[in-house]
């Protein structure tokens, strides 16, 4: 009975998370983040011909970069509409990359299938991090590279999540930004790696419109923000908008007509033992 109850609770949690992440239009949202994805990818210094798995691939921004660079790429995500968009982008850009719906906690691949396993701000949002760590390690070949980028609690995005999570954050799961803590990342992955490098870096958010329009952009296209606004009445939406506009404005390093904000993340790069 306890096992059945746990399974039902997990299923319900995943359904709720899927609803959150499939909202909005992540492909449009992620186009403004491709510069940071390229910077993260290029630091890995990967050789063409390797087999790369992108876990939590979204609409394919990192996976498509890797495929164009000559790697054999597979991208997986729990959100079916994102996978469909990634497939469409691959066809339109004439890139040979494979995308499919899959859960980071139960990857549908045999052990040691990939030379490189990456997750750029993706797998950190799965509700059971121990299973995620187990799966990332399992599908990576010995001597292969495992790399993640995870938002930190202290950084700008971590602060933004505090404003949003109180309206949509599912109970019963660890905070995703724990993946951005060095000790936690080492505890979850270190036992399966022969080397592990942990570096805090900055992800650039740059928009050609002011912070007030950035908040509206997130409301329309970014799933968690979209669902947070949808959960509130008119008065609540006004307060949330004011809080988010104040946060973006306080961190904005551009003029009043543009927005430039840096979001801290933990870069995790290891070699599979």
Give 138-179 pLDDT, tens digit per residue.
999 999 999 999 999 999 999 999 989 888 766 678 999 999
Predicted confidence (pLDDT) per residue in 69-98, tens digit: 999 999 999 999 999 999 999 999 999 999
Q: Tell me the average pLDDT across 99-117.
A: 98
pLDDT of residue 6: 56
DSSP class of 106? B
Give yes or no for residue 1 having a pLDDT over 70.
no
pLDDT of res. 166: 81
Q: Is the pLDDT of residue 7 over 80?
A: no
| Domain presence at residue 228 | no
Q: Using the predicted structure, report yes or no on whether residue 238 has a pLDDT greater than 90.
A: yes
Residue 231 inside a domain? The answer is no
Q: What is d(CA 26, CA 157) in angstroms, rounded to the nearest whole number?
A: 16
Alpha-carbon distance values, 79 to 13, 203, 244 (Å): 14, 23, 26
Give the separation between CA 238 and CA 210, rounded to whole angstroms. 18
Q: Give domain status of residue 234, yes or no.
A: no
- Find the CATH number of the domain harbouring 163: 3.40.50.150
What is the distance between the alpha carbons of residues 81 and 120, in angstroms, rounded to a whole number? 18
Tell me the per-residue pLDDT of 39-80, one tens digit each, with 9 for 90 and over. 999 999 999 999 999 999 999 999 999 999 999 999 999 999
- According to DSSP, the β-strands at 97-101 and 114-120 are unpaired
Note down the domain range covering 64: 2-205+263-272
- 249: in domain: no
- Report residue 3's pLDDT band, with 50, 70 and 90 as the boundaries: very low
Does residue 181 lie in a domain region? Answer: yes
pLDDT at 125 over 90: yes
- The answer to the question of residue 214 being in a domain is no
Question: Residue 4 has what pLDDT?
Answer: 52
User: Does residue 210 sit within a domain?
Assistant: no
| 135 in Cβ contact with 165 (< 8 Å) | no
Average pLDDT over residues 117-121: 98
Contact, 86 vs 63, CB < 8 A? yes
Question: Is 150 among the domain residues?
Answer: yes
What lies within 8 Å, CB to CB, of 178 at 6+ separation is 129, 153, 184
Q: State the chain's mean pLDDT as an integer.
A: 94
Residues 247-273: what's their mean pLDDT?
97
> What is the pTM (predicted TM-score) of this model?
0.94
In the structure encoding, which two tokens stand for residue 155, read together?
């950084």
Domain count, the chain: 1
């Amino acid at each position: 009975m306890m096992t059945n109850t746990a399974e039902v609770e997990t299923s319900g949690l995943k359904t709720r998370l899927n609803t959150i992440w499939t909202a909005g239009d992540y492909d449009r949202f992620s186009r403004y983040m491709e510069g940071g994805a390229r910077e993260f990818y290029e630091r890995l210094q990967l050789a063409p011909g390797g087999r790369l798995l992108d876990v939590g691939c979204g609409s394919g921004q990192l996976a498509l970069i890797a495929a164009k660079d000559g790697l054999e790429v597979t991208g997986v995500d729990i959100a079916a509409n994102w996978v469909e968009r990634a497939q469409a982008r691959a066809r339109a850009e004439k890139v040979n990359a494979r995308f499919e719906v899959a859960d980071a906690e139960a990857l549908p691949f045999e052990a040691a299938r990939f030379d490189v396993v990456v997750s750029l701000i993706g797998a950190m949002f799965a509700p059971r991090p121990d299973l995620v760590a187990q799966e990332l390690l399992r599908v990576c070949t010995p001597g292969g590279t495992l790399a993640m980028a995870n938002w930190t609690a202290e950084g700008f995005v971590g602060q933004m999540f505090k404003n949003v999570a109180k309206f949509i954050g599912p109970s019963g799961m660890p905070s995703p930004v724990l993946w951005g803590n060095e000790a936690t990342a080492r505890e979850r992955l270190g036992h399966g790696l022969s080397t592990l490098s942990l570096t805090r870096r900055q992800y650039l958010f740059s928009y050609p419109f002011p912070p007030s329009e950035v908040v509206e952009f997130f409301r329309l296209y970014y799933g968690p923000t979209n669902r947070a606004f949808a959960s509130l009445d008119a008065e609540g939406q006004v307060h949330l908008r004011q809080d988010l506009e104040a946060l973006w404005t306080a961190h904005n390093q551009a003029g009043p007509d543009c927005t430039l904000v840096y979001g801290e993340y933990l870069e995790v790069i290891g070699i599979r033992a």
